[in-house]
Amino acid sequence: MEKSVTEENKAPLIGQRFRGFLPVVVDVETAGFNCQTDALLEIACIPIIYDEQGQFIPGPSFQAHINPFEGANLDRRSLDFIGIDPFNPMRVAMAEDERTALRRIFKSLNEVRKAQHCTHAVLVGHNAHFDLGFLQAAIARSGTKNQNPFHSFSVFDTVTLSAVMFGQTVLARACIQAGIEFDGKEAHSALYDTQKTAELFCYILNKLSPHLLDSLVTEP
């Protein structure tokens, strides 16, 4: 039977690809390396979906500037490196507390997850366990476990994928190898790094992963 135009142009669902997991690229900016004691300052998340041609593409982005939690350590060297002043008046005006920020972002991610017929999200990151550690610590502090869509320990790490694909482990160098523009002046912004990691992840998957779209049954 011939497919209708609508069916032909309908994108496949990610829920059919990664054992029901929705890949979500995450990057955090922090005031140190200890997820239990150091402040989470920024987070950005981008789910990965299919386009109509069955290619992996970045979905919508969700981000937040976050006020340091009470008693958080703020390492001056880390702040200088990432270029964030937690007490800049403009930043303070737009920043949210951890609970508000995570609940808002998780709500949006869960909407994408359900639309893609996925059971959980799986964190994608460049050195993914660093991001997962800070995310989990913030979830514990903010009491947002019930809204959290992420698998508790599984990740996709673009460091490993980049090493396999390009022999590179640095995000900027891997992006350059993939022909993805990377502006070092924009690096260490959670949203920018998430966007570039998402582009890199999609590039690698589209190059290496057989899609076998004929075997995917698009949900009505």
Dihedral sign for Cα 179, 181, 185, 187, please: negative
Query: How high is the pLDDT of residue 216?
Result: 42
Average pLDDT (92-105) is: 97
Number of other residues whose CB lies within 10 A of the CB of residue 71: 7
Is 219 assigned a ligand-binding role in the annotation?
Answer: no
Say if strands 21-30 and 40-50 run parallel, antiparallel, or are unpaired: antiparallel
Q: What tokens were used for 11?
A: 């994108």
- pLDDT over 70 (residue 63): yes
**What's this model's pTM, rounded to 2 decimal places?**
0.90
Helix, strand, or coil (residue 70): coil
Note the Cα 210 to chain centre separation in Å: 23
Domain ranges of the chain: 14-207
Instruction: Reply yes or no on whether the pLDDT at 219 is more than 70.
Output: no
220 pLDDT band, cuts 50/70/90, is: very low
Does 27 carry a binding-site annotation? yes
Is 193 labeled as ligand-binding?
Answer: yes
The enclosing H or E element of 22 equals strand 21-30
Any catalytic annotation for residue 129?
no
Average pLDDT of 170-180?
Answer: 97
* pLDDT one-digit tens code per residue, 26-52: 999 999 999 999 999 999 999 999 999
Annotation-wise, does 126 bind a ligand?
Answer: no
Q: Which amino acid is at 22?
A: L
CATH placement of domain 14-207: 3.30.420.10
Q: Which of 120, 129, 151, 188 is catalytic?
A: 188
Strands 21-30 and 56-58: unpaired
> Which of 153, 135, 132, 131 is CA-nearest to residue 144?
135
